[in-house]
Structure 1
Amino acid sequence: MFSLRGDAHKFYLQLIKTLKNGESFSSIKGLSEIEEIQKHYRSINTETLKLIYYRMIKEKNGTGIVPIFVTAVPWFLFLFSKQLQEFLFKEGSTLWIIFGIIYFSTLSVSVIVHFREKAWAAFHIEIIQDILKERNETFSSNT
């Protein structure tokens, strides 16, 4: 099935397809990957897991170089716009096309990577929070 919607909807469609085919949900790569990550985090002691959690929060909320890149580079180019225009738009020169392709490609890729990394950090944070909550509930019920 083809969909122009986001990853969540594509995953939903994959679940529906798996169900219709009578297959087990464990055959879905995304779910087995989540189980593997959960298993790994469950094997880590609580104090270390809290430290990992704090690090993930930093990753998710960190400003990083990409937002700086997205906002600073256009201003930098604006400062030198006259010289840049003279260089790129020389008589018959196609340097502006090459510059534009490289600039927008770099910008697009870096923004996509930035938001994917934020999403992965949020994903790991949720898993860690669930494990810490489970451990806290287990500890509380034993006392």
Structure 2
Amino acid sequence: MYSFRGDAWKFYVKLRNAEQDGNDVRLLNEIVEMAEIEAYYQSLDNDTLNKIRYRMLKEKGGSGIIPIAVSSIPWVFFIVSKQLHETIFKEGYLWVVFICVYITIIFISVILHFRENAWAVVHTEIINDILQKREKQNE
């Protein structure tokens, strides 16, 4: 059944189903992937982890090229609207193809942008957890 609840709900259902089937949830690809990332970061020293964390914060906080393109491309089209109008509408149904391609590119770009931000959050949280654990151990 398809659900609009999002990836967190789908992951929860996957965990629940794996456990009900008698499988070890720690062996799910998503868990293994997080464990591999955490193991790698644990092998690095605090100074390097802080530099990586700063970079991840930049990635998470930065707007990036995709939102800039999403907001600026319509203005470019507006500026050249007369030429665009003459070219696209003169050729019959070419405007339909143009609109479909444009919306598809925007849609895919926005999805990629938010996925990149989500991964930056994951890496930042893992690094923060490692640094906090090390700080508690040093006290």
TM superposition score category, shorter chain reference: over 0.9
* Correspondence 1:1-143 to 2 at 5 A: 2-90=2-90, 93-140=92-139
Structure 2 Cα separation of the partners of residues 27 and 56 of structure 1: 27
- State which drifts further: 119-128 or 20-29: 20-29
Identity between Structure 1 and Structure 2 (%): 45
Structure 2 Cα separation of the partners of residues 70 and 116 of structure 1: 16
Which structure's relative contact order is higher, taking Cα pairs within 8 Å and 6+ residues apart? 2
Shift of 1:27: 2.1
Deviations 1:57-114 (A, max 9, x none): 0011112111110110001101111221111111x62210121121111111111111
Structure 1 Cα separation of the partners of residues 2 and 44 of structure 2: 39
Structure 2 Cα separation of the partners of residues 106 and 18 of structure 1: 36
SS of residue in 2 equivalent to 1:89: helix
Structure 2 Cα separation of the partners of residues 20 and 54 of structure 1: 40
Runs (4+) of structure 1 exceeding 3 A deviation are none
- Note the aligned Cα RMSD (angstroms): 1.1
Shift of 1:23: 1.1
Structure 1 Cα separation of the partners of residues 60 and 76 of structure 2: 27
Structure 2 Cα separation of the partners of residues 122 and 40 of structure 1: 17
Structure 1: runs of 5 or more not aligned: none
Aligned length: 139
Structure 2 Cα separation of the partners of residues 2 and 85 of structure 1: 40
Deviations 1:37-70 (A, max 9, x none): 1000000011101100000000111121111101
Structure 1 Cα separation of the partners of residues 22 and 44 of structure 2: 35
Structure 2: runs of 5 or more not aligned: none
